[in-house]
Structure 1
């Protein structure tokens, strides 16, 4: 279901990096972690539909440096006795709807949203059975916990 008029929006990728035409974008991709751990991160192209399945395993989908198509992209999650973590940058819109069964399906914003109404939308849906699904909106350039502790410690020593 790729539309040739669906352009890609490059956000945090380096300026000299080529933008991939929508016609070359994959329609469906996914990953399965069965008693294992899978991480999808770095510079990659988010397909229109990404399926993340974790069965007694762990899946991390990091979109903070990924290129996301304009319009709506979807992530379908199935977690059974495992966990799935989705990391999103603050410049995309996100909707998270899930069905937890003796588990959790949470959206946590650690960074203020900078998304505009025409920003890409990532719709995350699925089911969590005795599992944890965590969707976090984070700023990839924000200082980490160690930097925050060092800054706080050095400010008290002056």
Structure 2
């Protein structure tokens, strides 16, 4: 059977990554007195509860990953590159899709005021359905992608703009 454990250095890096974001969140939370005051103002904990829950979970998860990586890296006779990931971090090309997704989210946020929510959301979904699918370039494949993008964008619009009455651009 194949060993699917990550290398300790991956656990260390992932734990550190989550702990850095948790630290940024804790600093932001600590610096927002109005948000903190809403936690105990009434029987309803107010808007402070969700960030507090997320920060606690992010801190615990990052700490657990970091502790797991430290424990595995410091065991006697074990190298920091143990396991199938002994060659180290994945190649840089493995990060192209996540980086492209982040860049497209930034572009989406920029274009929303100009195009409105629905067209931008459908184009965003259509692009990623094309980029992540292996359906080829047939007309039926594109029609199916367009239908799926319309359903996803329209469904999000229905839930937020119509049902929850969240004001969306356009």
Structure with the higher helix share, 1 or 2: 2
Report the structure, 1 or 2, having the larger strand content.
Answer: 1
**TM-score, normalized by the shorter chain, greater than 0.5:** no
| TM value normalised by structure 2 | 0.18
> What is the TM-score when the length of structure 1 is the normalising length?
0.19
Higher relative contact order (CA 8 A, sep 6+): 2
